[in-house]
Amino acid sequence: MNASPAVPVPATGRIVLLTTSHRVAPGLLSWPAWQAVRTADRVLCADPDHPQLPYLREAGVTVRTARPTARELVALCAGGDDGAVDGAGTGTGGRTVVVLAGAEGEPELTDGLARLAGSGREAMPELELLPGSYDLPGARLLDLVRVMDRIRAECPWSGTRTNEDLVKYGIEEAYELVEAIEEGDREALREELGDVLLQVVFHARIAQDDPEEPFSVDDVAGTIVEKLIRRHPHVFGDETAETPEEVKAHWLRTKAVEKRRASVTEGVPLGQPALALAAKLAGRARTAGIDALPAGEGVGYELLALAARAEAEGTDPETALRAAARAYRDAIRAAEAGARGTERSGRRAE
């Protein structure tokens, strides 16, 4: 006679897998998480160096360092004796056990619990996944900083780069970003924004190692945050701006006070593309009410006049010329394809 299959008995106890984000400062747990650890019969953690442990212990929560198997954890919840978890068994049953997960979660434990539950032969406790902290917007930037720190320390190439070494890459990545925007390629846009962001973080990490004037990515972020707040008094202060033109006026007025420049041409980088340079100078002069466009002969002066006219009409001459150049490229390719087609037709006629 075949033995009857085992009949599952009602679940006993409760297992809470408490996860936390390393991107949030330790100790900043959600209220449900604090309730769980304060009311649990046992709180276990496999990592003795888990960043949350000092804060839990300071709050009076006893955390035992243990790495129980799935079966041992089920037995502990049921009240069975388990020497692997500090001899906690008393035979009373129905315990709540909180497992404080490590940075990578607890895949071995959760896989084991899934196998036991799937067998249908075990009296399983209730299983709950409880997020103890949540990432804030921008939290993945902390991952980027952490990864860059490690690369700078361990990569032979990255560890010896200087800001000067990276200049050409910054220019290349900026142009690739512009191309992705102009092509309307959303996937490329996301990737190229990441590459530009990498340049910022990489440069800041190199600057952090400077022996005389070090600064970090936090200093870079702090500087731009302060600048944005200063130059948006209509957002963060008492001034008002109803139109883009009024916003620009606020920006230029605040910038002029900050820079205290002797000339409107100060701060215009001469190394940028010539059309962009001409448009920038024309814009500065027009805003200041200066009419000093030189008259001369030759294509250079003609292009300068065109760039100034485009800027005054609200057109970026650099962008306009690139768009025309792309159309020119497409026309060349179409002509080449037509010539190849004519050549093939001629060969077939022969």
How is 255-270 classified by DSSP, letter by letter? HHHHH--SSTTTT--T
Range 261-281 average pLDDT? 88
Over the chain, what is the mean pLDDT? 88
Which domains does the chain possess?
14-81+93-133 (3.40.1010.10), 272-335 (no CATH)
Percent of the chain scored above 70 by pLDDT?
91
Q: How much is the average pLDDT of 96-109? A: 91
Would you say residue 204 has pLDDT above 50?
A: yes
Q: Chain centroid to CA 133: how far?
A: 18
Can you give the pLDDT at residue 135? 83
Task: Please give the pLDDT value at position 45.
Answer: 95
Lowest mean pLDDT of 81-85, 214-218, 268-272, 332-336, name the range. 81-85
pLDDT at 125: 93
Rounded mean pLDDT of 139-147? 92
Strands 42-45 and 14-19: unpaired
Query: Is the confidence at residue 146, as pLDDT, over 50?
Result: yes
- Per-residue pLDDT averaged across 300-324, rounded? 93
pLDDT grade for 346, boundaries at 50, 70 and 90: low
Residue 9's pLDDT is: 44
Q: 3-state DSSP call for residue 242?
A: coil
Query: What HEC string does 78-127 produce?
Result: HCCCCHHHCCCCCCCCCCEEEEECECCECHHHHHHHHHHHHHCCCCCCEE
% residues pLDDT > 90 (the chain): 62
pTM value is: 0.66
pLDDT score, position 176: 95
C-alpha to C-alpha distance for 197 and 189, rounded to whole angstroms: 12
In the chain, alpha helices (H): 31-39, 53-58, 70-78, 107-119, 140-154, 167-183, 186-208, 217-230, 233-236, 244-259, 274-288, 299-312, 317-349
Cα–Cα distance, 315 to 305 (Å, whole number): 13
Give the pLDDT mean for 156-185. 94
Q: Does the pLDDT of residue 270 top 50, yes or no? A: yes
Place 139 in a pLDDT band, splitting at 50, 70 and 90.
Answer: confident
Higher pLDDT, 56 or 2: 56
Per-residue pLDDT band for 90 (boundaries 50, 70, 90) equals: very low
Contact 133, 33 (CB under 8 A): yes
At 94, the pLDDT band (50, 70, 90 cuts) reads confident
pLDDT attached to residue 173: 95
Radius of gyration (C-alpha) of the chain in whole angstroms: 33
pLDDT given at position 93: 56
State pLDDT tens for residues 32-69: 999 999 999 999 999 999 999 999 999 999 999 999 99
Q: Over 50: is that where the pLDDT of 3 sits? A: no
Which pLDDT band, with edges at 50, 70 and 90, does 349 fall under? low
On the question of pLDDT at 155 being above 90, the answer is yes
Mean pLDDT on 197-226: 96
Element (H, E) at 131: strand 126-131
> Angle at Cα 311 formed by Cα 310 and Cα 316, nearest 5°?
80
Taking the C-alpha atoms of residue 305 and residue 260, their distance in angstroms, rounded to an integer, is: 29
Per-residue pLDDT band at 8 (split at 50, 70, 90): very low
pLDDT of residue 350: 63
Sequence-separated (6 or more) residues with CB below 8 Å from residue 184: none
